[in-house]
Structure 1
Amino acid sequence: MPDSPMSASPYEVLGVPASASDEDLRRAYRRLLRETHPDTGGDPLRFIAVQSAWERIGSPDARRRYDAGHIVADAEGPAWAPPHADAQHHRPTARSYGHPGGWRRERYLQLLGEWVGRGVDVPDPYDPVLVRRAPREIRHLLADALAEEATARWLATLGIGYTVWHDVAAGSSDEKVDHLVLGPTGLFAIQSEDFGGPVRVRRGELTGDALAGERPMHELAQRAKAVARAARVRFTALLLVLPDDALVTPAESVGTSRGAELVVLQASTLLTALRDGMPGGRAVGGTEIFEVRTRLQAAVRFA
């Protein structure tokens, strides 16, 4: 996600201040190319990041555009703005409820306003220059909202055999499960995250420089537990979805929680995991899937 609010800026990747001269920028780029090149024992991921950073600020024109906050947008509009109502060109095939990313976007706007200052007009709260200056907590809220919305777009394509609930309250007012998915392969609790860097699994939890003391697998297990108790249901698996470049492997089991497998996986593998199910996982069908859906419909509260 090169335009993630959590991603390091090109200047940070190249190890120079934003005020660096063009010549200093060029020297830093050439030095890092030599240090990170895989043929000389460098880190392939860092090598790619260095090249990407240079593409964004290596030329005077590209640098002016980046410094002015012009990031690449897709056909649906600015990359960080909420999806447009007409952005979905086909009707979702999975039955869905709730508003993905809504809670985090509201919280982002609230905290951004407090950080900017009371009474200060913010014409565009998604202006990239403003977002890049914001504290990590605020940028993380926006990054996770984007991750939720991306996951929701994938989930919408699952098919009529699946039901999806978004932004499900889990206990206290500031805790939620991003997505619940019920289908023939089971019941899944899904959290969408973007920490802005790579992570790895260690002793049942995620570790890495991108984490700031967070315990995402533990938090997902606790929130899923609250939902399971309220609805009197059992989860097949708890899935933490991350950007593809945050994980070395497509998916990795972290352990279990109350009989549900805990898995962290790349976003591009999510649909396969939901359609194929977990190895050894119990399928749900017939009357049981109707009963579970009824319990969830009665118990689910949205954040």
Structure 2
Amino acid sequence: MPDSPISATPYEVLGVSSTASQDDLRRAYRRLMRETHPDTGGDAARFTAVQVAWERVGDPDDRAAYDRGRPSTRDDETPFTWAPRAKPKQADTRPRARSYGHPGGWRRERYLVLMREWVGRGEPLDDPYDPALVRSAPMDLRHLLADALAEEATARTLAALGIGFTVWHDVSTGPPEEKIDHVVLGPTGLFAILSEDYGEPVKSRRGELLGKPLGEARPMHDLGVRAKIVSRATRVKFTALLIVLPDDALDESFTVLGTIRGATTVIARQSMLPALLRDGVPGARLIGGNELFDVRTRLQAGIRFV
């Protein structure tokens, strides 16, 4: 099962219907293996994607498990779900970062409202996170859920930074869809963060993200505009603007793109985020002491949530 609701399904990768026969599935797999093999001029990334897709649905038992929304293993019968995780018991007794707001909360709520409207108000909706239902939903609904999951993943990372950090989630800068996902304050600076998932790899050019799923969107520019609104309301300056993406969406662990109004702009893999926040963004000014206390006080008084 893909980790992201907007990742291509194995059937989409193989170019067949989800109701295709096993023979049709096998023929599509063999054809694509020939077409995409790097030794014959094919694309290595697509070649790998075809192999992964076949591993998930090539065996009839694994295919049945995938279609039921279960992991592709016959020993684990735990149903797969994108529902919110239950809060785990905290085994690590070390202090966590102070946090405020509900990460992914607005997008979760919006997803549920729109999913019920899409299914139909008169129709029962026993499980809005059923994998088969999610995969059949329009892309904008799937993207809402994917971004909510991305925000929640970032929030778990931020919580583990320790008591030296303070985090505000779902920070309002106008209409709810124009929010900052996370504002983070620590000894290495003040960060505005967007957690995004576009379902496929993206590139950067001239200080902005590029890729087929983005269309004309300018996420780094938009983050700069939103950070400016918070800066004016709270009279603080951001150290850096970060867009955090799934690890497989970027070729490099992180890339410094430039600056916006004095704030360093960075795109980074999810796994790189703790190091960037603990060690600091290259070239950015560290803050501490009375300045850190003053910035926290201003943010706490001025931040509003969606």
Q: TM-score normalised by the shorter chain: which range applies?
A: over 0.9
Q: Distance in 2 between matches of 1:110 and 1:89?
A: 35
C-alpha spacing 1:148/1:89, structure 2 compared with 1 (3 Å): farther
Answer yes or no: is 1:201 the counterpart of 2:201. no
Could you tell me which residue of structure 1 aligns to residue 68 of structure 2?
68
- Of 279, 284, 287 in structure 2, the residue corresponding to residue 284 of structure 1 is 287
- Of 73, 85, 92 in structure 2, the residue corresponding to residue 83 of structure 1 is 85
Could you tell me which residue of structure 2 aligns to residue 257 of structure 1?
260
The answer to whether the Cα contact below 8 Å between 1:161 and 1:184 also exists between their aligned partners in 2 is: yes
C-alpha spacing 1:212/1:119, structure 2 compared with 1 (3 Å): farther
The answer to whether the Cα contact below 8 Å between 1:169 and 1:177 also exists between their aligned partners in 2 is: yes
C-alpha spacing 1:16/1:72, structure 2 compared with 1 (3 Å): closer
Answer yes or no: is 1:94 the counterpart of 2:92. no
How does 1:149-160 map onto structure 2 within 5 Å? 149-160=152-163
Q: Distance in 2 between matches of 1:44 and 1:242?
A: 22
Q: Deviations over 1:124-145 (max 9, x none)?
A: 0000011001111110000000
Could you tell me which residue of structure 2 aligns to residue 44 of structure 1?
44
- The alpha-carbon deviation at position 188 of structure 1 amounts to 0.3
- The alpha-carbon deviation at position 75 of structure 1 amounts to 12
Q: Distance in 2 between matches of 1:273 and 1:34?
A: 41
Could you tell me which residue of structure 2 aligns to residue 104 of structure 1?
107
Q: Which stretch of structure 1 is more off in the superposition, 113-122 or 83-92?
A: 83-92
C-alpha spacing 1:300/1:28, structure 2 compared with 1 (3 Å): same
Q: Distance in 2 between matches of 1:30 and 1:76?
A: 31
The answer to whether the Cα contact below 8 Å between 2:56 and 2:72 also exists between their aligned partners in 1 is: no
- The alpha-carbon deviation at position 87 of structure 1 amounts to 5.6
Q: Distance in 2 between matches of 1:8 and 1:200?
A: 19
Could you tell me which residue of structure 2 aligns to residue 15 of structure 1?
15
- Of 216, 233, 237 in structure 2, the residue corresponding to residue 213 of structure 1 is 216
Q: Deviations over 1:269-293 (max 9, x none)?
A: 1111111111221101000000000
- The alpha-carbon deviation at position 206 of structure 1 amounts to 1.4
C-alpha spacing 1:98/1:211, structure 2 compared with 1 (3 Å): same
Answer yes or no: is 1:248 the counterpart of 2:272. no
The answer to whether the Cα contact below 8 Å between 2:10 and 2:53 also exists between their aligned partners in 1 is: yes
The answer to whether the Cα contact below 8 Å between 2:203 and 2:209 also exists between their aligned partners in 1 is: yes
C-alpha spacing 1:222/1:146, structure 2 compared with 1 (3 Å): same
Could you tell me which residue of structure 1 aligns to residue 241 of structure 2?
238
- The alpha-carbon deviation at position 223 of structure 1 amounts to 1.3
Answer yes or no: is 1:222 the counterpart of 2:212. no
The answer to whether the Cα contact below 8 Å between 1:168 and 1:177 also exists between their aligned partners in 2 is: yes
Q: Which amino acid aligns with 1:280?
A: G
C-alpha spacing 1:137/1:59, structure 2 compared with 1 (3 Å): same
Instruction: Name the SS for the 2:181 alignment partner.
Output: strand
Q: Which stretch of structure 1 is more off in the superposition, 76-85 or 9-18?
A: 76-85
Q: Please give the TM-score of this superposition, normalised by the length of structure 1.
A: 0.93
Answer yes or no: is 1:57 the counterpart of 2:54. no
Q: Distance in 2 between matches of 1:89 and 1:4?
A: 27
Q: Which stretch of structure 1 is more off in the superposition, 59-68 or 87-96?
A: 87-96
The answer to whether the Cα contact below 8 Å between 2:236 and 2:295 also exists between their aligned partners in 1 is: yes
- The alpha-carbon deviation at position 29 of structure 1 amounts to 1.2
- The alpha-carbon deviation at position 252 of structure 1 amounts to 1.5
Percent identity of equivalent pairs = 65
Q: Please give the TM-score of this superposition, normalised by the length of structure 2.
A: 0.93
C-alpha spacing 1:283/1:2, structure 2 compared with 1 (3 Å): same
C-alpha spacing 1:99/1:78, structure 2 compared with 1 (3 Å): farther
- The alpha-carbon deviation at position 149 of structure 1 amounts to 0.5
Q: Distance in 2 between matches of 1:210 and 1:71?
A: 27
Could you tell me which residue of structure 1 aligns to residue 172 of structure 2?
169
Could you tell me which residue of structure 1 aligns to residue 24 of structure 2?
24
The answer to whether the Cα contact below 8 Å between 2:71 and 2:77 also exists between their aligned partners in 1 is: no
- Of 296, 299, 302 in structure 2, the residue corresponding to residue 296 of structure 1 is 299
